[in-house]
């Protein structure tokens, strides 16, 4: 049995990890940390069933890091840098759900997160944990940087195009996320009365931090021949608990046909256990993916144009966070990639 | 034109007052206060249309109390005592939406609100602002204590029985309220992710403060001959923005018939402009009343028993707060009671 | 591996069965029926992940009944009588999710369901599938009548009292259910615009069919010494997808103490794998149980009275239907009762 | 007092008209028609307050067309053609809320609505009822074709650009609408359980009928010098009752600056009573407009690009339908345009 430690377990990604790990036949909880709720049972933080609720929370300083084979770190960005390093130093393999180890260039990280990167050696060895792109690297990684929720939907929605060099011009990713994506700290924006019966764009105009993560990975997927495309990413707050739908608009280069594009997507995702490439005529909806680890991807070609509309849906807490983290765990340990995730 | 001042305008009851007053042909805003947002436009606090948004907020200390004919006080309990007294001293008639002037006995107030009453002379002259019970007293009142939202639904749901001495035994008021009833301060309980797709009882078992307000008014409606009934009040948090539905269970005394009860309700409410007494066979729902100043009341008699189920629905922000406050304003000034409220 | 047939698979209980069975290590789908969607893939009826979506639907007449070890019947009441008999005749053990085999007395069934019972011999052998009450009988049953959703919450909420003879007087069960309880057929009442931001009582006043099911089981739990209590059951439609919360009011007999009651509940449910008896001071909420097979039960005693408020929460599609059906499947086959349900 | 007739009053636009007209000091209801509910009170169709509920519904054949000064027609497309002609023949001025009289070219109408236009003479005289574009024409119109909900948001969001000839290339209108936009007929798509906690694109890829309406008006606003732009319109179903948010992406021609664009919008909308042009730095949200007749428009310029993101929000039942219809009524009769709409 793999011994699991979770740092910062009392947020929504921590809760989702516990729910999923409960069903995982090859993993068991070693310890859970919470600085604010240390000494309490996990059930004091969440209305969860008894088996999950019985775990006791400890402060990170009191956690036996060496007792964990794998550590999931669920802290916010910047706060994750040091604990990840400590867990690595104690010998655990680490899956970090924050943004701290996702951007390969520490200068880019600092520019977008307003915080210097203080673990650049670790950063250099971190693997971006998107199994559909980096399965072999994840299998041997000691530190996996679990992707952001929005980037998971957009990168997987565009990767087959990027690999062919078919990204061009201005690409629009109009994304909509459920409120759990904003975390568990109460704010006016996430107050029920403000969010319910409402719908709001926010951080539009190339200012949301996930943009740079998308660009990094799409450029890498493109390889050497960089085209001059740019990505406009517009997040919106959706009055649902879970789920992201990205509606992505791409102007395909002249001559690229629907049949070619469909073939590329089919080839890219045929063997993927968690990509549900929908047949022509369908669109992705949240219902396709909430409470599952799947991404649903659909391709709609606008007649008489070169415009492709990609709709891509995930559950932000599962494929967009904790489910993907467990998928990475399985890959790292040679387990069936679907273990605990069906 | 009546000049209106609003103390503590940046909560949901303040917003609802502004929305309603905008349509009121005999009232205009003199000033609005907010300690936290003073100096800003009202539109900085809420996404409201321009005419409402243009008002500028001031600190209470900077408001020209004497420039207002009527002051609405929208502060929390305890915080309202002194500002109400100041507004009265400046000559304004006051409608207080807090609990501070609703309970006639200062000892009861202190016991339930954990705060002494420091304005007992003013308290003695305050009129409980439920038009269906106290219309003549409201008309000549200088200080009106606007009823609580839950009490409005329960008191009007039971008053015809109380007047006949037909309250008896254990009366259950199982009430459900939308989240705006909890105010605008973000909390974990009112965080979208926690409240949506959820439903929770809270403060059940005779511990919610609105219970004592209901009991005071039902005892007064009963008059001299007090029966030995007790009220169990169980509030629940409903995942909607607005609306209260109270499902009230009464065991009628032996011999009291359905026909008699229907006649009493019909007599009590026939002339009431904002009571919608539903015909037999119907039940009250939130849809009957949200965004209106009506209370909908329906009577369901359980066959072969003496059990009466009263369903009573209001919009907690309108009939349960700001709409009723304007109804009181109209009564106090001899205006058509429905002015601005249709 | 147990071979599973599902009759009427394209409703919400069928979908939930498939979701849960996908995780069940000892069961596999033999066939799924749908009269309207026969010939299509299950994924044409629901936006589900590929593994579930790949099953092909057949007409009941084309299903190989003998190929199933266990048949779940998910048809509406009255429609289930004959298919259940056919499945039994073919040798399968049957778990019926309709009301057709729940009421022991065919005359009572006919009076409440306006339809004669045409399988009275089968009815006589059916076991009411509430594991907490009938585990040994379920273990050897050939036909299990899976309980209704509302009854599951109310019966388990009151059974420990019934066994002690502590039910008395008028008992109020004020229940609230998410919309999936109304099934998948679109109606005006369940149209999004009518149900969202709304909350409605319906069928109150001892007219809902689930009442008679609750009474049957509580009388049986009471045993010989029948007290003169009556149950008032008031269902309400809650604007959530899933979940039932029942708030139940009982006037305990004089002399029965809080400590005694708590002890009875603790004894009754200590060993139950899916009963989450909450500690004193807590109340049950939907969040305790949605997407799980648990029932959460909390006891609140009203000070200075004999009134006990039981709050009981379940997911209507899991513990209230398909999860409980799988719990019964496990019991019937000597499997770990929790298999596939954590 | 203007006498008002409403054809097809029992849908959501009919209900909204009645709510708004109740507050309108210069209009009164003459008759309401419903083929399905004729003979019943309006309150039998909707849980509305008594004053609205008391109106009796009649069949269209029984309505005294000549008794109405103004007729609002709230029937579906195709069904409106003949009743509108009948009302015109009886001498009433007509405001049609369907699509039947919006498209100037009957061939285009037939191509998109799969139904021939049988009232081409009337069609030729109809005025497109968007006050911000056609106020003088509306003032003297006998027949006003009230705009569609999505087109109102997109046309007003882009009209200032069109007039300047600044539309170019591929314009993306990614629109999201509340469920009331789909009407009151229950369908699986609008069933609460399917729509709640879900979010779905539909009719994407230049197939939604509102696209042609947007193009007609934007081409007309552009005038003679037609640029070669095309519009991609992607509607999505949002789990809210009311409200449309359109996020519109435009690549401005080289050399057009933010300052120029802001000036054009300010000029276009400065005097408009129901356009809320938000200051730089803000975005439009549903909260800005629901339950009001306003459109909120915000402009976000993506740094270092020529990409402009227009966010435009309306209440689909108010500015997107019944409120705009009353705005047109006011303009047609020389009343204050805001009458009944604040």
ipTM of this complex prediction, to 2 decimal places: 0.96
Residue contact A188–B186, C-beta within 8 A: yes
Residue % of chain C over a pLDDT of 90 = 96
Identify the CA nearest to B121 among candidates B160, B159, B81, B154.
B81
Q: What are the tens digits of pLDDT across the range C146-161?
A: 999 999 999 999 999 9
Reduced 3-state DSSP string for A110-169 = HHHHCCCCCCHHHHHHCEECCHHHHHHHHHCCCEEECCCHHHHHHHHHHHHHHHHCCCCC
pLDDT of residue C227 exceeding 80, the answer is: no
Tokens of C25: 């290590």
Q: Which SS3 state, helix, strand or coil, does residue B7 take?
A: strand
- Kindly give the pairing relationship between strand B200-201 and strand B230-237: antiparallel
Closest Cα of chain B to D49: distance in Å? 7
Model pLDDT, residue B225: 67
Query: Given the structure tokens 């971006």, which residue do they identify?
Result: A128
pLDDT class of C225 with cuts at 50, 70, 90: low
Which residue in C has a C-alpha nearest to residue A20's C-alpha? C342
Could you tell me if C281 lies within 8 Å of chain A, comparing CB atoms? no
Tokens, residue B190 = 């009112």
pLDDT digit string (tens) for C34-63? Answer: 999 999 999 999 999 999 999 999 999 999
Judge contact between C302 and C322, C-beta under 8 A: no
B61: left (phi over 0), alpha (psi -120 to 50) or beta: alpha
With cut-offs at 50, 70 and 90, classify the pLDDT of residue C75: very high
- Residues in D touching A290 (Cβ below 8 Å): 197-198
Chain A CB within 8 Å of residue B190 CB: yes
Please tell me the distance from the alpha carbon of residue C162 to that of residue D144, in angstroms, as a whole number: 68
d(CA C43, CA C45): 5
Give the pLDDT score at A228: 84
Q: Are B65 and B33 in contact (CB under 8 A)?
A: no
Would you call C288 and A342 a contact, using CB atoms and an 8 Å cutoff? no
Q: Is domain A2-125 in CATH 3.50.50.60, yes or no?
A: no
State yes or no: pLDDT of C224 exceeds 90.
no
Q: Residue A193 in contact with residue B180, Cβ under 8 Å? A: yes
Residue B85, pLDDT score: 98
Q: Does D198 touch chain A (CB under 8 A)?
A: yes
Number of Cα atoms under 13 Å in the Cβ half of residue D196: 24
- Residues in chain A closer than 8 A to B187 (CB atoms): 186
Task: Tell me what the pLDDT averaged over chain C comes to.
Answer: 96
pLDDT averages per 10-residue partition of chain A, 342 residues: 97 97 97 97 93 96 97 97 98 98 97 96 98 98 98 98 96 98 96 98 90 96 83 98 98 97 98 97 97 98 96 98 98 98 94
Confidence at residue C228, expressed as pLDDT on a 0 to 100 scale: 84
What are the pLDDT digits (tens) for B240-270? 999 999 999 999 999 999 999 999 999 999 9
Q: What is the least distance, in Å, from the CA of C267 to any CA of chain D?
A: 38
**What one-character-per-residue DSSP string does C51-103 give?**
HHHTPBEE-GGGS-GGG-SEEEE-PPTTTTHHHHHHHHHTT-EEEE-SSTTT-
Q: How far is CA D3 from the centre of its chain?
A: 23
Distance from CA of C342 to the nearest CA of A (A): 6
Chain B contact for A130 (CB, 8 A cutoff): no
Q: Do D243 and A174 touch (CB under 8 A)?
A: no
Describe the strand order of the beta sheet including C143-145 as a list of residue ranges.
Answer: C57-58, C27-33, C2-7, C70-73, C93-96, C143-145, C127-128
Q: Could you report the per-residue pLDDT of C312-321, keeping only the tens digit for each? A: 999 999 999 9
Helix (H) or strand (E) holding A336: none
CB D337 within 8 A of CB D276: no
Contact: C47, A291; criterion CB under 8 Å: no
Contact assignment for B186 to A184 by CB distance below 8 Å? no
- Taking an 8 Å cut-off on Cβ atoms, the answer to whether C186 and D191 are in contact is yes
**Per-residue model confidence (pLDDT) at position A206:** 77
What is the reported pTM?
0.97
Question: Considering only CB atoms, which chain B residues are within 8 Å of C174?
Answer: 172, 174, 247, 249
- The dihedral of CA B131, B133, B135, B138: what is its sign? negative
Q: Please identify which residue in the block is written with the tokens 């799409």.
A: A218
Q: Which fold does the domain B150-316 belong to in CATH?
A: Dihydrodipicolinate Reductase; domain 2 (3.30.360)
Q: What number of other Cβ atoms are within 10 A of residue C164's Cβ?
A: 17
Q: Please list, in sequence order, all residues whose beta carbon lies within 8 angstroms of the beta carbon of residue A226, skipping any fewer than 6 positions away.
A: A219
- Residue of B12, B11, B56 lying closest to B38 (CA atoms): B56
Residue D285 touches partner B, C-beta closer than 8 Å? yes
Task: Return the pLDDT at A199.
Answer: 98
**Cβ(A153)–Cβ(A244) under 8 Å?**
yes
Q: Kindly list the distances between the CA atom of residue B178 and the CA atoms of A319, B200, B235, B244, D18, in Å, as whole numbers in the listed order.
A: 32, 11, 11, 6, 26
The Cα-based distances of C22 to A82, D143, D147 in angstroms read 40, 59, 49
Of B184, B192, B185, nearest in space to A179 by CA: B192
| Helix/strand/coil for D136 | helix
Q: What is the pLDDT of residues B278-322, one digit of tens each?
A: 999 999 999 999 999 999 999 999 999 999 999 999 999 999 999
Min Cα–Cα distance to chain C from A111, Å:
39
CA angle in degrees (0–180, nearest 5) for D186-D294-B244: 55
For residue C206, what pLDDT is reported? Answer: 76
What pLDDT shows up at residue D225? 67
pLDDT of residue A39: 97
Domain boundaries, chain A: 2-125, 150-316
Count the neighbouring beta carbons within 10 Å of the beta carbon of residue A223. Answer: 10
Assigned token pair, D29: 């209801």
Yes or no, beta carbons of A288 and C47 under 8 Å apart: yes
Tell me D60's DSSP state.
Answer: G
pLDDT at B224: 75
Active site residues of D: 149
Residues in chain D predicted with pLDDT less than 50, given as ranges, are none
Q: Residue B315 CB: number of other CB atoms within 10 A?
A: 28
User: Among residues 74-93 of chain C, which lie with CB inside 8 Å of chain D?
Assistant: none
Q: Annotated catalytic residue: which of B73, B74, B149, B164?
A: B149
């Amino acid at each position: 049995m793999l011994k699991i430690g979770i740092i910062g377990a009392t947020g929504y990604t921590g809760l989702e990890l516990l729910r999923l790990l409960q069903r995982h036949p090859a993993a068991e909880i070693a310890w859970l940390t919470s600085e604010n709720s240390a000494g309490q049972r996990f059930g004091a933080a969440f209305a969860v069933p008894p088996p999950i609720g019985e775990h006791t929370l400890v402060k990170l300083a009191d956690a036996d890091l060496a007792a964990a084979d794998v550590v999931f770190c669920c802290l916010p960005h910047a706060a994750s840098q040091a604990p990840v390093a400590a867990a690595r130093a104690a010998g655990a393999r680490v899956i970090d759900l924050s943004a701290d180890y996702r951007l390969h260039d520490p200068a880019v990280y600092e520019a977008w997160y307003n915080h210097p990167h203080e673990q650049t050696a670790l950063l250099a060895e971190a693997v971006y944990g998107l199994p559909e792109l980096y399965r072999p690297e994840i299998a041997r990684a000691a530190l996996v940087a679990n992707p952001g929720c929005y980037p998971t939907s957009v990168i997987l929605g565009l990767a087959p195009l990027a690999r062919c060099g078919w990204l061009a011009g201005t690409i629009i990713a109009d994304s909509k996320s459920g409120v759990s994506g904003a975390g568990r700290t109460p704010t006016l924006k996430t107050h029920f009365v403000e969010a319910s019966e409402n719908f709001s764009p926010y951080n539009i105009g190339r200012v949301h931090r996930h943009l740079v993560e998308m660009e990094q990975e799409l450029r890498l997927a493109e390889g050497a021949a960089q085209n001059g495309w740019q990505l406009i990413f517009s997040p919106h707050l959706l009055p649902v608990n879970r789920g992201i739908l990205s509606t992505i608009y791409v102007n395909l280069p002249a001559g690229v046909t629907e049949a070619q594009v469909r073939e590329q997507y089919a080839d890219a995702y045929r063997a993927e256990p968690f990509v549900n490439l929908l047949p022509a005529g369908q669109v992705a909806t949240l219902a396709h993916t909430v409470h599952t680890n799947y991404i649903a991807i659909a391709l709609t070609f606008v007649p008489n144009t070169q415009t492709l509309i990609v709709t891509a849906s995930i559950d932000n807490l599962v494929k967009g966070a904790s489910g993907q983290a467990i998928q990475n765990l399985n890959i790292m340990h040679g387990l069936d990639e679907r273990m605990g995730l069906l």
